[in-house]
Structure 1
């Protein structure tokens, strides 16, 4: 009888502990340190891509969208300047602790069909110095969702990077006179991500090179074909990077896993060719996988 009473007391204490712990998690807060990065754009005549962020929303455990009230003023970022693992910190935001299933960015951009917008918050700067407004599809006032999950620890900080893939996000129409912005964004939790980097040798001096990253066995040869309409080449690539004139490259913010790389060249006439494919490159969290590639 005495043992039974002791067991009952232990069960009650355990239940109270779990209840208090869950209550702490549901009522506690933590910090989201949010940065942005980018992959290169296909258009060779583009010098910079400026994006004005006006707000941030988040979705807790698949529930309703809530506004980050401490995103207090617009921030202008040259997204094109953030390549090869380079990032720009948007800010540190206080969120309830717990699991999150997405972020949504509000942007200051004119809707498609707007005539001659003055001082657009999102625009492309060409090599000539001319500035072209970036239009967004109508109905985009709700913002742009970034795909990915992350957890905010109670009284802690989670560092997250939103990867704006401008190569997929910007489409040029009207014989090069109209730029449409439809962001493709994915979320990477920094301490759960890794990097692939190295040198590419035997480069031709009259060509440019880009490396595309695919989830293992997801690449098909049809993706290298000339795109139609508002489609892009290598549409299913999850990341890409330009190879420098010295052969150096960096593919950052990749979730741990196995990847295939596709090395692509482009000559002065714009002819694109797949030079090499490398399969099953393993990426580990918080580590850099070194990979030198000989063409």
Structure 2
């Protein structure tokens, strides 16, 4: 059996669709499923972050979960060239609910266990109007790896989100001053739960919004309208830390309850100016 999967790329967070209606997807055949892949990003302290996206590689099917090695079996991988627009993408344009389709493919039913985002060499960041090359370690030439385990069933439609945390992924080397990409990525089905809201005033942008997931801090930023969304959360109770630019007072929101498959809308927050 195979599954049909579409890949999307965003830079903050995206949404997932799930459908069992073959009439809505005339290209599907029995034993196939549709999956949309999104890349989402939490921006860092840069004006622009440009990456050259070449392709996405996917490892899926009936895979032995006990095998922790990547393996050299190329037949287990499906490569989807990125052909839906300019290969140069500013990740900071993908905040809020913005997204960019990467492509689509038929995948073996079973599970998705690993993704590799293939970048070209024309990557750079812009800070205060100055452009700096973004160096990619040689070990990443085979692609930026994201390990996961998501089951996909024939006849269904899914969206899968790749969360590219720019704030954690880009570092400046102390002595050389080189800007280096050390990718921090996670992936999840967009049908998972999350938190969304708005932070004002707009003059305080950009504002980081973070929470802790399995001991790891997950961070996103508000868009130009002050909106934010954090997805890929398990049901539970979370605290949000809202950290604005200098001149405004940080805020913590405790007791945010997230239910399975639901996006919790928190009340808009208006930050106070520092005295």
After TM superposition, the score normalised by the length of structure 2 is 0.69
Is it true that 1:82 corresponds to 2:94 in the alignment? Answer: yes
Q: Among residues 264, 274, 279, which one is paired with 2:243 in the alignment?
A: 264
Give the conservation status (yes or no) of the 8 Å contact 1:213–1:240.
no
Higher relative contact order (CA 8 A, sep 6+): 2
Instruction: Give the superposition deviation at 1:264.
Output: 1.5
Q: Secondary structure at the match of 2:150?
A: strand
**Residues 77 and 151 (structure 1 numbering): CA distance in 2 closer, same or farther, change over 3 Å?**
farther
Is it true that 1:67 corresponds to 2:42 in the alignment? Answer: no
Is it true that 1:94 corresponds to 2:106 in the alignment? Answer: yes
Give the conservation status (yes or no) of the 8 Å contact 1:85–1:252.
no
Give the conservation status (yes or no) of the 8 Å contact 2:208–2:219.
no
Alignment of 1:42-191 (within 5 A): 42-43=45-46, 46-60=47-61, 61=63, 62=65, 64=71, 66-71=76-81, 75-109=87-121, 120=122, 122-128=123-129, 130-173=130-173, 177-191=177-191
Instruction: Give the superposition deviation at 1:96.
Output: 0.2
Give the conservation status (yes or no) of the 8 Å contact 2:43–2:91.
no
Q: Secondary structure at the match of 1:171?
A: strand
Q: Which moved more, 1:206-215 or 1:91-100?
A: 206-215
Q: Which structure is larger by alpha-carbon Rg, 1 or 2?
A: 1
Considering fraction of residues, name the structure with more helix.
1
What number of residue pairs does the alignment pair up?
229
- What's the counterpart of residue 5 of structure 2? none
Unpaired runs of 5+ in structure 1? 1-26, 110-119, 219-235
**Residues 98 and 277 (structure 1 numbering): CA distance in 2 closer, same or farther, change over 3 Å?**
same
- What's the counterpart of residue 207 of structure 2? 209
Root-mean-square deviation (Å): 3.2
Give the conservation status (yes or no) of the 8 Å contact 1:30–1:96.
no
CA distance in 2, matches of 1:215, 1:68: 30
**1:55-109 superposed Cα distances (whole Å, 9 cap, x missing partner):** 4132544454632144376943222211123221111121101122221222223
Q: Among residues 218, 229, 238, which one is paired with 2:218 in the alignment?
A: 238
